[in-house]
Amino acid sequence: DTEVTQTPKHLVMGMTNKKSLKCEQHMGHRAMYWYKQKAKKPPELMFVYSYEKLSINESVPSRFSPECPNSSLLNLHLHALQPEDSALYLCASSQDPLSAYEQYFGPGTRLTVT
Amino acid sequence: AQSVTQLDSHVSVSEGTPVLLRCNYSSSYSPSLFWYVQHPNKGLQLLLKYTSAATLVKGINGFEAEFKKSETSFHLTKPSAHMSDAAEYFCVVSSNTGNQFYFGTGTSLTVIP
């Protein structure tokens, strides 16, 4: 199974809501990533988890809060977002955080903040 | 520091003709390099990767790329374009620590029937 799954596929939320994005992989990968992608742009790295520990936070606003409950799951908790946070949020995983193995991407969650 | 430059933001080819998507990289070490494809409203799919083995790398769907260290290039080619190849393509270089990846700005490929 070489699949990364993400739920939900689409999410519309108001600026005062709290919601969560979920990502799951069962490939035994020990690195997991959150990216934000705006239209016609490359993905921008937000967070990296290595062996379930947050290893990279690319100066992401605190209204985004990542969580890695176990080696297969990655969550992104959202609170008090702004309209400019509307984007495609991609999750990815790779085999080993210490080696440049390829990343496997999920299909993404299309987030709209109203 | 690592960086990737995709030389063309948009490439248009006729169906059945060759495809060339250009990528140059800058790195202070021997990097791993990747090409990904993204169809509209989809995630990214790995086409191929270079990890210091053979310099000519074959990928899925008939794509291949050649690593040229002297030219710091990793161009993606396909002999004959298919309509289904129309998508966004990203060239990616790894960090020296292996846990970060640097994306080019992307090349949008249009295939004309």
Q: What is the pLDDT of residues A77-105, one digit of tens each?
A: 999 999 999 999 999 999 988 887 899 99
Q: pLDDT of B47-59, one tens digit each? A: 999 987 788 999 9
Q: Looking at CA atoms only, how far is residue B29 from chain A in angstroms?
A: 13
Residue A52 contacts B, CB cutoff 8 Å: no
CB B90 within 8 A of CB B46: no
Spatial separation of the C-alpha atoms in residues B55 and B62, rounded to whole Å: 16
Could B98 and A105 be called an inter-chain contact, meaning their C-beta atoms sit closer than 8 Å? no
Distance between start and end Cα atoms, chain A: 36
Residue A98 contacts B, CB cutoff 8 Å: yes
Pick the closest to residue A103 from A17, A43, A37, A55 (CA basis).
A43
Which chain B residues contact residue A88 at CB under 8 A?
A: 41
pLDDT at B21: 98
Could you tell me how many CB contacts below 8 A there are between chain A and chain B?
A: 61
Q: What is the DSSP letter of A86?
A: -
The string of DSSP codes covering B3-58 is EEEES-SEEEEETTS-EEE-EEEE-SS---EEEEEE-TTS-EEEEEEE-SS-SEEE
Residue A39 contacts B, CB cutoff 8 Å: no
Q: Looking at CA atoms only, how far is residue B98 from chain A in angstroms?
A: 4
C-beta neighbour count of A102 within 10 angstroms: 18
CB B110 within 8 A of CB B19: no
pLDDT at A1: 64
